Amino acid sequence: MKEKDEMEFHRKMQEIEGKYEVKTDWGNIVITLDVIPNYAGGKGRPDEILVVKLDFAILGTDVKLSVPVLIEVATKGGWSGDAKVDLEKFCERTISGEQQSYLEIPMIVVGGDSYKKLESKKGQLTARFNITQVPKRVVK
């Protein structure tokens, strides 16, 4: 995809960026949508990353969850084109540490006599990618 087209797509994606608060019976959930242009700096695999962050309280502690939504704007082939290769490259780069994955999974440990922020730890895991192809006309 041409850089001009990538920049235009990024501007369109920026329209959904922001913080949204959802009130529930058990507390508030803050949803933050951040759009990251992954084509900048030449990585471009995938073209965009939509980072969805959820902040809420459970069991008396603040929980933060961050999940990337990978967006590849393929010109012709769709999934059968470079998109599959771009997913593999993204996975390789996040495992090697070359690229941030934006995936943060909270863990709550129940035990002891007090609340403590224990640590942040990196680990590797297997993830399932649910891939959907949408027609280009959807983003125009």
| pLDDT tens by residue, 90-99 | 899 989 988 8
How far apart are the C-alpha atoms of 66 and 105, rounded to whole Å? 7
Q: What is the largest CA-CA distance in the chain?
A: 59
How far apart are the C-alpha atoms of 106 and 129, rounded to whole Å? 19
Residue 6 contacts residue 47 (beta carbons within 8 Å)? yes
Any idea of the CA torsion for 21, 32, 91, 84, to the nearest 10 degrees? 80
pLDDT interval class at 77 (50, 70, 90): low
Q: Which domain holds residue 110?
A: 3-139
pLDDT value of residue 84: 84
Count: domains in the chain: 1
% of the chain with per-residue pLDDT over 70: 89
Stated pTM of the model: 0.85
Lowest mean pLDDT segment, chosen from 3-7, 11-15, 110-114, 129-133: 3-7
3-state secondary structure 59-74: CCEEEEEEEEEEECCC
Q: What is the mean pLDDT of residues 45-73?
A: 91
